[in-house]
Structure 1
Amino acid sequence: MESVLVKEYRADIMECAHHGHISIVNERGEVTASAGDPDFVTFTRSAAKPLQAIAAIRGGIASRFGLSGKEIAIMTASHVAEPEHVEVLESFMQKTGLSETELICAPSYPLNERSKEDVLRHDGSKRRLYHNCSGKHLGVLAYCKMKGYPLEGYADPEHPVQKEIIETVSMMCGIKAEQIVLGTDGCGFPVFGLPLSAMASAYVKLACPDLIADEATREAVTIITQAMNRHPEMVGGSGRLDSLVLQDSNIIAKGGFKGVYCFGLKKERLGIAFKVLDGSEEEWGLIVQAILEQTGYANLSLIRQMKEDFTHDIYNDAGKKVGYADTVFQLRFTQP
């Protein structure tokens, strides 16, 4: 049974109720707190991007092509095609010798409104590079090029690099590869249907690489997560939750489309994954705030900043306050 996570009020009448599930696991993958069903199965969407980057970094593309920290971070990104994002993506292509035409993600406009307006004023052209998943695609293409794999069909689940990615996701989540439900993501890549508890288990390992037995994978995860913390602006962009919480070096976080959000806490050695069932992302900031508060998170300055950037107040188009949102779930703590 799902839990009500957030209620929204206008003129003191409840207008919306956002239902969902939350799963929190410890370093052994045991559920220690939850709301709703901690094993609810859903698709990872872009929350899998740090996991999907492991194969290429483990394989050595960073040293082979001389990638910077920003270029590694953009591989994990759901970027909004701000100028710095585009600059880093173009540098990535130049270093690897890849062409934008080799990307299978659809030509898009920037998700950042100012960047989109600039494009429309300039020539109005969509680009594959503007797609929020283009960094992930470039990373996989670079790995294919280094390994001598065919670039054509690089997003096919049967392609060698995708098979390696699936095996890596399996290992990180602590679930057999054949138990992962494969779908197709919006960008054309395979997407993974997993229990929230398995996603949370993967994020414990992202936050605490010492839990990973394989040395090469452990080193790759360390490189990826350090890049995410050092260059949080690359992972999301202006006003994005990912870019705010990644400023805290104790947190590794990444959201995905249709209401999925995952993060790991290093010192606390916890992994958290949740799903807003109606697919909304507007409530992410409120839910993360409440989880941090209910688990006694020590960085109160981050929580205060989140309250400012992701307010409970609801405003109309003219900027007038017309309502408020209230996080109503209470985590159930268990003793595994």
Structure 2
Amino acid sequence: MTHPAHDAVTLVEAWRGPFLESAHQGHAVVCDETGQIVQAWGVPDAVVLPRSSSKMLQALPLIESGAAKARDLGTEHLALACASHQGAAIHTEKVGAWLDHIGCCDDDFCCGPQISRDKEVREEMIRAHQDPRRIHNNCSGKHAGFLTLSQHLGGSADYVALDHPVQKACLDAFERMTEETSPGHGVDGCSAPNFACTLHGMARAMARYAVADNESPQGRLRNAMALHPELVAGEGRACTRQMRAAGHGVAIKTGAEGYNIAILPEQKLGVALKITDGGTRASECAMAQILVKLGALDPNHPEALAYTNGPIKNWDGLETGHLRAAPALL
């Protein structure tokens, strides 16, 4: 098993004036519809945890089992099942309605309470002396999907247990789509198992989503993400901004610790990348540049430039440098 830090390539650089101040290394893989690597940086076989970038794989059993149809779930539900939302009202209201729809409540979630990452909601809750709830957890949409699937399968309340039918179905979907046997798992921030695979395996899975028929489970999840970018992340977030800028059905999903994926239907390509130091700013920059390189994002679009060559400003608003893609990606 290749350690993620071994033979990583510098993908992103932070410049302050004329000085290279920091550099972020990582691995990235682009796969075509046959699962073959068409471009790669670093080590394609590096085994890592994809974290929230694997949510569209974890959501697959929700449709395949018939649970989504039985509960009449729409595109907003499917987008939220793949989301790492910021706990804004648009997210919690829709997840709350989903809970009501399936007869569940906040206490049924296995994810922990999380302070909303939405400034307006967070400040309102502080003024009202309200404690954060589980519905504010960035993974509450995924967990609403888990609860729905658990009800459909007749599972117990502990739906994040490794031997629970929900997680068995998630592992099966994960291994089918990556075409790999996962070497193991870690416990994610939301308490659910997160299965490991190679960068190649994840890029291969994303390419399969890219070419999936619109009516297939994979196609429905891909299209739901592209249709509702504001639900997948939120205003000001990279996933939302880059999906809107790219258009054409592109789906993008960040994961914790510098992971990121993209599904490109027009190019029939899947992308997976990992920044080895876990830097989210670097994964967002590298992904934007790869999207530009693959023709999925206009290099002169303001949102592309904001990430591929984003200004670094100090507290007085003075531009002191840039975070930009490294020469390896150019």
TM-score by length of structure 2 reads 0.92
Q: Which residue of 2 aligns with 1:214?
A: none
Q: Confirm whether residue 220 of structure 1 aligns to residue 220 of structure 2.
A: no
CA distance in 2, matches of 1:68, 1:318: 46
1:73 aligns with 2:79: yes
The answer on whether the counterparts of 1:77 and 1:132 sit within 8 Å (CA) in structure 2 is yes
Task: Point out the more displaced range, 318-327 or 32-41.
Answer: 318-327
Superposed counterparts of 1:301-320, under 5 Å? 303-308=301-306, 311-320=309-318
* Contact 2:307/2:324 (8 A) holds in 1: no
1:299 deviation in Å? 4.4
Per the alignment, residue 203 of structure 2 pairs with: 200
Following superposition of structure 1 onto structure 2, how do residues 52-71 of structure 1 map, counting pairs within 5 Å?
52-71=58-77
Task: State which of 235, 240, 248 in structure 1 corresponds to 2:237.
Answer: 240
Q: How many angstroms does 1:117 deviate by?
A: 1.3
Letter in 2 for 1:161: V
Q: Which amino acid counterpart does residue 142 of structure 1 have in structure 2?
A: T
Deviation above 4 Å: which 4+ runs of structure 1? none
Matched, 1:110 2:116: yes
**Mean Cα deviation higher: 45-54 or 59-68:** 59-68
- Map of 1:178-327 to 2, 5 A cutoff? 179-210=182-213, 219-247=216-244, 248-295=247-294, 297=295, 299-300=297-298, 303-308=301-306, 311-327=309-325
The 1:200–1:302 alpha-carbon spacing in structure 2 relative to 1, beyond 3 Å, is farther
Counterparts in 2 of 1:262 and 1:299: CA distance versus 1, 3 Å: closer
Identity %: 29
1:160-179 to structure 2, matched below 5 A, reads 160-176=165-181, 179=182
Gaps of 5+ in 2: 1-6
Deviates more, 1:256-265 or 1:302-311: 302-311
Q: Does the CA contact (< 8 Å) of 2:267 and 2:296 recur in 1? A: no
CA–CA separation in structure 2 for the residues paired with 1:67 and 1:167: 22
Question: In 1, Cα distance between the equivalents of 2:267 and 2:307?
Answer: 24
User: Distance in 1 between the 2:151 and 2:296 partners?
Assistant: 44
| Number of the residue aligned with 2:140 | 134
Quote the Cα distance in structure 1 between the aligned partners of 2:291 and 2:51: 23
Matched pairs, number: 322
Cα offset, 1:307, TM superposition: 1.5
SS state at 1:326 partner: strand
From the superposition, tell whether residues 228 and 193 of structure 1 become closer, same or farther in structure 2 (CA, over 3 Å).
same
Q: Taking structure 1 as reference, are residues 158 and 218 closer, same or farther at Cα in structure 2, changes over 3 Å only?
A: farther
1:157 aligns with 2:156: no
Structure 1 gap segments, 5+ residues each: 211-216
Cα distance in 2 between the residues matched to 1:21 and 1:185: 21
SS at match of 2:131: coil
Contact 1:204 1:270 in 2 (8 A): yes
Deviations 1:96-155 (A, max 9, x none): 11111011111111112222112112233111000001111111111111221212x210
CA deviation after TM superposition for structure 1 residue 311, in Å: 4.8
Hey, what does 1:213 align to over in structure 2? Answer: none
Contact 1:75-1:139 at 8 Å conserved across structures: yes
TM-score, scaled relative to structure 1: 0.90
Task: Tell me, yes or no, if the aligned pair for 1:103 and 1:134 is still in contact at 8 Å.
Answer: yes
Question: 2 CA distance for matches of 1:301 and 1:18?
Answer: 21
Partner amino acid, structure 2, of 1:237: G
1:147 aligns with 2:153: yes
Letter in 1 for 2:87: A
> Given that residues 25 and 32 in structure 1 are in contact (C-alpha distance below 8 angstroms), is that contact kept between their aligned partners in structure 2?
yes
- Compared with structure 1, are the counterparts of its residues 285 and 306 closer, same or farther at alpha carbon in structure 2 (3 Å cutoff)? farther
